Amino acid sequence: MRKRTIKKQIWINQDEENLLKLKSKKSGLNESEFLRSCIKGYKIKEQPTKEIIEFTRKITGIANNINQIARVVNTVGYIKDEDLNYIKNTMPQFIVDFQKKIYSRGDDFSGSNKN
């Protein structure tokens, strides 16, 4: 049996249609799910870009490596120079790469853009 038994028909203009299609696509929801989420007052966000997903994978890998180094340090009581250099160099380089790739695009994430 259907969960939703009430059908509503609304009229919108072409600009609203275009906006609904764009926003629902960016959110990863179909138009019905998007509208129901709006009605419920949910804050709907865009799906992460491929770049964000790639950086998330990279930072997860870096965090795992640092965690493995920390386990060894806790066991043996000291850190190898190569492990210390990895920690010193990897995070700052990751941050620089992230800032160049993400912040230099000119995207407006403040929510003030009209899309």
- The verdict on residue 14 lying in a domain is yes
DSSP state, 47?
P
Q: Which residue, 25, 52, 31, is CA-closest to 115?
A: 25
Same domain, 55 and 97: yes
Same domain, 21 and 66: no
Same domain, 94 and 55: yes
CA gap 27, 44 in Å, rounded: 7
Q: So what's the pLDDT on residue 115? A: 43
Same domain, 57 and 87: yes
Structure tokens at 104: 């230099």
Q: So what's the pLDDT on residue 24? A: 94
CA separation, residue 36 to residues 18, 31, 39, 42, 53 (Å): 18, 9, 5, 9, 27
What is the tally of structural domains in the chain? Answer: 2
- The verdict on residue 4 lying in a domain is no
Torsion angle of the four alpha carbons 50, 107, 25, 95, in this order, in degrees rounded to the nearest 10: 30
CB half-sphere exposure, 46, CA atoms < 13 A: 15
Q: So what's the pLDDT on residue 104? A: 66
Q: Which domain holds residue 66?
A: 50-103
Residues lower than pLDDT 70 in the chain: 104-115
